[in-house]
């Protein structure tokens, strides 16, 4: 499936956000499935893959069934699939049962794979080395998509011990680029050993991208894919000045040379998907001066942000357009590849029959957080002028 344009209206195949945190159950003060499905709908996103760091975390078949039942309340706004999480061998045993017991086929259909955190982030779901090894082996044996949050705890711990948290900008120093690169190298080694289908979540560094390229060259039969988040494409360490804790995220925003490289990776096909890592927190949580939580929302604006780039309108109000985008244009077909074809294939998503979203390419609009549908009612893209708006 591809896109169609009539006059100023473009219609896409069902667009997918393969990385979201809708916070239900347990964290409904930040967001819930109803509010975030509404935000997805108004952003033209038709299906989303929800992460397991809820309360309780999605680490048992029972917890997964509960999420499936909750999501079935809003069948028309956004189809949800769920990642399983694991921090113990018992959780991996549950995943194995889910994948192999034919009586659970209806539950498995809603599960898009396993998410592993290789260092702590919101929810403290860091997986130990022993569980990580076993998870790669299980997902290799059963060919379960394994999504890895790649940051290396030792590198982060050392950097954090050398620089106390003294404001949002210190976050990028305390979780440095080398940490992601080292962690991706380890994850790739385990995936190669166990033949695990591996997907690198929110890849944020030039070095990480080079490792994906090198792995594909050296081991062409390995199923290795990666995703980039909008904040790593559009924001950098320079944005701490305007936006402070709002742009604190894991992995952190990086110095501009990394986002230059990520745009190269988008245009040359190294990057498979754009996943928003839509991670709402309340502004009250973000106002914590000691150490505010990491994450920001973006599901309602991701497609308009990208349509603006396609239209030749670099949306950042002050930062220059990356060199890669001066040399080559992003095209509507790239959006189909990044938000439909690749995520549907990688996570085996049942999108047939979902609505096809339309956008008015002629509509320019200003992001006004009060008008957004996400429960947290703020956006790191507040005040940005975008071109292209979902027709709802
Ligand atoms: O910044 C982040 N926020 N990174 C994560 O890994 C988790 C997410 C969240 O759930 O808040
Ligand atoms: Zn995430």
Per-residue model confidence as pLDDT tens digits over 111-170: 999 999 999 988 999 999 999 999 999 999 999 999 999 999 999 999 999 999 999 999
Q: Is the CB of 77 under 6 A from ligand 1?
A: no
Residues 9-47: pLDDT tens digits? 999 999 999 999 999 999 999 999 999 999 999 999 999
Write the CA distances from 211 to 6, 114, 140, 178, 218, integer angstroms. 41, 22, 20, 12, 10
Residue whose CA lies nearest to ligand 1 atom number 3: 295
For the chain, give the mean pLDDT. Answer: 97
Would you say 189 and 136 are in contact if contact means Cβ atoms under 8 Å apart? no
Residue of 218, 224, 215 whose CA lies nearest to 346: 224
Q: Which of these, 209, 247, 211, 224, lies nearest to 324 by C-alpha position?
A: 209
pLDDT-based confidence at 260, cuts 50/70/90? very high
Cβ of 53 closer than 6 Å to ligand 1, yes or no, is yes
Q: If you measure from the C-alpha of residue 296 to the centroid of ligand 1, how many angstroms do you get, rounded to a whole number?
A: 8
φ and ψ of 352, to 5 deg: -60, 135
Query: How far is it, in rounded angstroms, from Cα 380 to Cα 305?
Result: 12
Q: Is 122 in the pocket of ligand 1 (CB under 6 A)?
A: yes
Pocket probe for ligand 1: among 21, 172, 252, the residue whose CB has the most ligand atoms within 8 Å is: 21
Verify whether ligand 1 is closer than 6 Å to residue 379 (CB atom).
no
**Cα angle 26-31-34, degrees, rounded to a multiple of 5:** 100
Whole-number Å distance, alpha carbon 261 to ligand 1 midpoint, is 23
pLDDT above 70: percentage of residues in the chain: 100
Residue 121 CB–ligand 1 contact under 6 Å: yes
The bound ligand whose nearest atom lies closest to the alpha carbon of 150 is 1
Q: Which two tokens stand for residue 264?
A: 């190269």
Q: How far is the CA of 279 from the centre of ligand 2 (A)?
A: 7
Provide the pLDDT confidence category of residue 205 given band limits of 50, 70 and 90. very high
Q: How large is the average pLDDT for residues 360-387? A: 98
Identify the three-state secondary structure at position 141.
helix
C-beta of 27 in contact with ligand 1 (< 6 A)? no
Instruction: Give the residue from 202, 182, 305 showing the smallest Cα distance to 253.
Output: 202
Which of 171, 252, 277 is the best mutation target for the ligand 1 pocket, counting ligand atoms within 8 Å of the beta carbon and taking the most?
Answer: 277
Q: Where are the beta strands (DSSP E) in 203-341?
A: 224-228, 273-274
What's the mean pLDDT in 343-370?
Answer: 97
Q: Are 35 and 295 spatial neighbours (Cβ–Cβ below 8 Å)? A: no
Domains and CATH numbers, the chain: 15-296+342-354 (3.20.20.140)
Asked if residue 149 has its Cβ within 6 Å of ligand 1, the reply is yes
Regarding the beta carbon of 250 and ligand 1, being less than 6 Å apart is answered yes
- Please give the number of the atom of ligand 1 that sits closest to the Cα of 51: 10
Ligand 1 atom closest to the Cα of residue 249 is: 1
Choose one of 121, 172, 286 to mutate for the ligand 1 pocket test, by most ligand atoms within 8 angstroms of C-beta: 121
Q: What is the pLDDT at residue 76?
A: 86
Find the 242 Cα to ligand 1 centroid distance in Å.
21
How high is the pLDDT of residue 220? Answer: 98
Which of 293, 375, 380 should be mutated for ligand 1, with most atoms under 8 A from CB? 293
Residue 21 Cβ inside 6 Å of ligand 1? The answer reads yes
Q: At residue 340, does pLDDT exceed 80?
A: yes
- For the CA of 286, the nearest ligand: 1
What does the pLDDT look like over 51-98, one tens digit per residue? 999 999 999 999 999 999 999 997 789 999 999 999 999 999 999 999
Output the pLDDT for position 74: 79
Q: What is the pTM of this model?
A: 0.98
Q: How many CB atoms lie within 10 A of CB 218?
A: 10
Q: What pLDDT score does 1 carry?
A: 82
Question: Residue 387 has what pLDDT?
Answer: 98
State what percent of residues in the chain have pLDDT above 90.
Answer: 97
User: How far apart are the CA of 229 and the centre of ligand 2, in A?
Assistant: 9
279 within ligand 1 shell (Cβ under 6 A): yes
Under the banding of pLDDT at 50, 70 and 90, the label for residue 294 is very high
The ligand 1 atom nearest the CA atom of 281: 11
């Amino acid at each position: 499936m591809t896109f169609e344009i009539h006059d100023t209206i473009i219609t896409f195949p069902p667009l997918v956000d393969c990385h979201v945190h809708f916070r239900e159950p347990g964290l409904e003060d930040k967001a819930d499935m109803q509010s975030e499905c509404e935000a997805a709908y108004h952003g033209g996103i038709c299906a989303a893959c929800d992460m397991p760091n809820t309360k309780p975390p999605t680490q048992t078949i029972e917890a997964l069934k509960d999420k499936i039942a909750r999501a079935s309340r809003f069948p028309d706004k956004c189809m949800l699939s769920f990642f399983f999480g694991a921090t113990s061998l018992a959780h991996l045993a549950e995943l194995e049962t889910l994948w192999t017991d034919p009586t659970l086929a209806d539950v498995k259909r809603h599960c898009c794979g396993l998410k592993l955190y290789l260092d702590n982030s919101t929810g403290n779901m860091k997986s130990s080395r022993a569980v990580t090894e076993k998870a790669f082996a299980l997902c290799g044996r059963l060919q379960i998509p394994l999504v890895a949050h790649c940051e290396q705890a030792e590198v982060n711990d050392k950097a954090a011990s050398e620089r106390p948290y003294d404001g949002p900008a210190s976050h990028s120093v305390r979780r440095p680029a080398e940490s992601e690169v080292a962690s991706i190298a380890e994850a790739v080694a385990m995936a190669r050993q166990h033949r695990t289908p591996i997907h690198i979540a929110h890849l944020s560094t030039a070095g990480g991208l080079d490792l994906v390229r090198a792995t594909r060259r050296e081991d062409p039969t390995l199923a290795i894919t990666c995703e980039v988040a909008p904040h790593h494409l559009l924001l950098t360490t320079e944005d701490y000045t305007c936006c402070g804790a709002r742009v604190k995220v894991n992995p952190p925003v990086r110095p501009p040379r990394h986002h230059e490289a990520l745009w190269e990776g988008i245009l040359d096909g190294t990057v498979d998907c754009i996943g928003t890592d839509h991670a709402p927190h309340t502004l009250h949580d973000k106002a914590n001066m000691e150490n505010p939580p990491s994450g920001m929302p973006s599901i309602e604006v991701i497609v308009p942000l990208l349509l603006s780039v396609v239209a030749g309108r670099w949306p950042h109000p002050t930062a220059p357009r990356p060199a890669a985008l001066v040399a080559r244009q992003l095209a509507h077909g790239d959006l189909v590849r990044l938000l439909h074809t690749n995520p549907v294939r990688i996570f085996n998503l049942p999108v047939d029959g979902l609505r096809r979203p339309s956008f008015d390419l002629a509509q320019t609009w200003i992001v006004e957080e009060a008008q957004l549908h996400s429960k947290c009612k703020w956006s790191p893209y507040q005040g940005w002028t975008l071109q292209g708006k979902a027709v709802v």
